């Protein structure tokens, strides 16, 4: 079982989420040329400002805004991955992270994204692929032996072969498209980041899950404090 999604390699250090979004948009014929201009445009929509990367709502929002129907399965409440990143990286303003997380959640809520709060499973990936949906999966770069760091990373699951999943890893060159990885390893690799997440995407609404809740925007980020010299 394999979906022939186009491959696109990320050109920026933290643009794995937008690269995966581009590949999904290309598969469903909702994007023009998959190039750096579009990658940067989508990256601006997906990223969490303070860290450059993105969480589950960040990758889902630009897909929903362009006409697809994302469905999120996540083990985390609240900030999830973003909260763990804040704990590990100094100098990050938690108020800014929360603001953009909620803003992206509101975009998802207003554009038909659904979600389930539970542990993702291989059966979820299998069901999505069988329904011709691509799956964006949150993993650790440690899933790939050639990577020396362990950082959060998004890949696009394009197929299933026995006990292996086929993925487009945006860190790879194009000749490694549909790269096989152990299914259990993929699902477990992001545990250390405080969240396991899958975002399946297709042209029709997924029958399970609840509509993403539309929370009010936090006020703190909108305040401007000026202190004269």
How do the pLDDT tens digits run along the chain, 229 residues long? 899 999 999 999 889 999 999 999 999 999 889 999 999 999 988 876 555 678 899 999 999 999 999 999 999 887 666 655 555 555 667 777 788 888 899 999 999 999 999 999 999 999 999 999 999 999 999 999 998 888 899 999 999 999 999 999 999 999 999 999 999 999 999 888 888 999 999 999 998 899 999 988 887 665 555 566 5
Q: What's the token pair of residue 104?
A: 């992206």
Could you tell me the residue range of the domain that residue 64 belongs to? Answer: 16-205
Residue 227 belongs to some domain of the structure: no
Residue 182 belongs to some domain of the structure: yes
* Whole-number pLDDT of residue 41: 92
Q: What is the pTM of this model?
A: 0.90
Contact present, 6 and 34 (Cβ < 8 Å): yes
Find the Cα–Cα–Cα–Cα dihedral 76, 78, 82, 84, rounded to 10°: -60
* Whole-number pLDDT of residue 160: 96
Residue 219 belongs to some domain of the structure: no
Residue 170 belongs to some domain of the structure: yes
Q: Which long-range contacts (CB under 8 A, 24 or more apart) does 186-192 make?
A: 186/137, 186/139, 186/143, 186/155, 186/157, 187/120, 187/121, 187/122, 187/137, 189/139, 189/140, 189/142, 189/143, 190/81, 190/138, 190/139, 190/140, 190/152, 192/140, 192/150
Residue 10 belongs to some domain of the structure: no
| Tally of structural domains, the chain | 1
Residue 212 belongs to some domain of the structure: no
Q: What is the spatial distance between Cα 25 and Cα 17, in angstroms, rounded to a whole number? A: 12
Detail the DSSP E strand segments found in 105-184.
114-117, 134-140, 152-161, 164-168, 179-182
CB-based contacts of 78, cutoff 8 Å, min separation 6: none
Contact present, 139 and 155 (Cβ < 8 Å): yes
Give me the CATH number covering residue 195. Answer: 3.90.70.10
* Whole-number pLDDT of residue 148: 82
Residue 11 belongs to some domain of the structure: no
Q: Judging by DSSP bridges, how do beta strands 69-74 and 114-117 pair with one another? A: parallel
């Amino acid at each position: 079982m394999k979906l022939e999604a186009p491959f696109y390699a990320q050109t920026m250090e933290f643009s794995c989420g937008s690269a995966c979004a581009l590949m999904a948009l290309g598969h469903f014929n909702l994007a023009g040329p998959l190039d750096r201009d579009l990658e940067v445009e989508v990256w601006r929509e997906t990223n969490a400002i303070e860290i450059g990367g993105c969480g589950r709502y960040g990758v889902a929002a630009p897909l929903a805004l362009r006409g697809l129907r994302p469905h999120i399965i996540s083990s985390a409440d609240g900030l999830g991955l973003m909260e763990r990143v804040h704990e590990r990286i100094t100098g990050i303003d938690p108020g800014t992270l929360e603001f953009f997380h909620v803003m992206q959640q509101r975009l998802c809520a207003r554009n038909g994204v659904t979600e389930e709060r539970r542990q993702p499973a291989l059966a979820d990936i299998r069901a999505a692929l069988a329904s011709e949906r691509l799956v964006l999966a949150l993993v650790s770069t440690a899933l790939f032996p050639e990577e020396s760091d362990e950082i959060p990373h998004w890949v696009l699951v394009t197929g299933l072969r026995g006990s292996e999943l086929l993925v487009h890893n945006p860190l790879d060159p194009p000749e490694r498209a549909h790269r096989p990885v152990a299914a259990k390893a993929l699902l477990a690799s992001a545990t250390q980041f405080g969240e396991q997440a899958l975002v399946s995407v297709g042209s029709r609404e997924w029958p399970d899950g609840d509509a993403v809740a539309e929370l009010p925007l936090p006020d703190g980020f909108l305040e401007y404090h000026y202190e004269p010299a």
